[in-house]
Structure 1
Amino acid sequence: MVRHQALTLASDLHSVREVETLLQQLIEEYHISHDKYGDMLISLTEAVTNAIRHGNRLDKRKYVRISFKVEEGEIRFRIMDEGEGFDFENLPDPTAPENLVRCGGRGVFLMKQLSDRMSFKNNGSTVEMCFKTA
């Protein structure tokens, strides 16, 4: 069974809570393991927070759109903001000694580590993540 759906969020950090509600529904409906739930929750909240804070720059006139597609054995998420994007090819390595004590800069690293596949599109204003469910 293939299911495709989307959710539009205001560029307000309080909107991030809606990600947890969405994931709870998906976990229950598709019987996804709780281990995967944690990986998805961290990755999606990081992506949405980055989209709101860095992409849309907290501009309440802009929106973040989350779409997902559930297919046999995987869930694919796409998070899109209305920003200009960023240079995702040259992000500092958060595990480098000089970056270990810096605040921030770990979100994309975590998203890459926790998802099964991740890519950026549209100059970085769109992130796509795939999670295996089986």
Structure 2
Amino acid sequence: MSKQIFRLSLNSTYEESEKVPDFVTEIQEKSQLEEDATGNLMLLLSEAVTNAIVHGNKLDESKKVEVEVHVNSEKIISTVKDQGKGFNPKTTKNPLKEENLLRDSGRGIFLIREISDSMDYLEDGTKIRFSLSR
């Protein structure tokens, strides 16, 4: 299988984030992803896109979120970029600690870190890249 590239550009609204499932379904169909990989990709992209819209772009509809997914026979490499000010990932709190259990943020990054094979922040925290094995 040769490398395939999929792109999605979203405005920073909750409604736009609802395009992620159809985007992942398109990737699954064109790349013949197995169910486990598809489910993980759906969860991770949904979390990353929501974080970019809410925390990165602060729900500013004039700002975009750019999603790019590269699929080859071994891996799925995804990037999600926002137009926000960025952040320092070291400042995020562990959502499993008792004092953070009721916080309404922090779980998305935790899930991405736990489920993906690798995760990096790029461009001062305005871009996340993660990979999954096929």
- The two structures have a TM-score, normalised by structure 2, of 0.93
Residue of structure 1 equivalent to 2:54? 53
Q: Distance in 1 between matches of 2:105 and 2:124?
A: 21
Bigger Cα displacement from structure 2, 25-34 vs 12-21? 25-34
Please list the CA deviations of residues 56-77 of structure 1 after superposition, one character each: whole Å capped at 9, or x if unmatched: 1111111000011112211111
Question: Number of paired residues?
Answer: 133
Please list the CA deviations of residues 98-132 of structure 1 after superposition, one character each: whole Å capped at 9, or x if unmatched: 11232322110001111111110011100001111
Residue of structure 1 equivalent to 2:99? 98
Structure 1 stretches of 4+ moved >3 Å? none
Aligned partner of 2:68: which letter?
S
Structure 2 residue 66 is the aligned partner of structure 1 residue 65: yes
Residue pair 1:40, 1:114 contacting (<8 A) in 2 also = no
Residue pair 1:76, 1:130 contacting (<8 A) in 2 also = yes
Residue of structure 1 equivalent to 2:124? 123
Aligned partner of 1:15: which letter?
E
Residue pair 1:7, 1:66 contacting (<8 A) in 2 also = yes
* Contiguous gaps of at least 5 residues in structure 1: none
Aligned partner of 2:79: which letter?
R
Could you tell me the percent identity over the aligned residues?
Answer: 32
- The two structures have a TM-score, normalised by structure 1, of 0.93
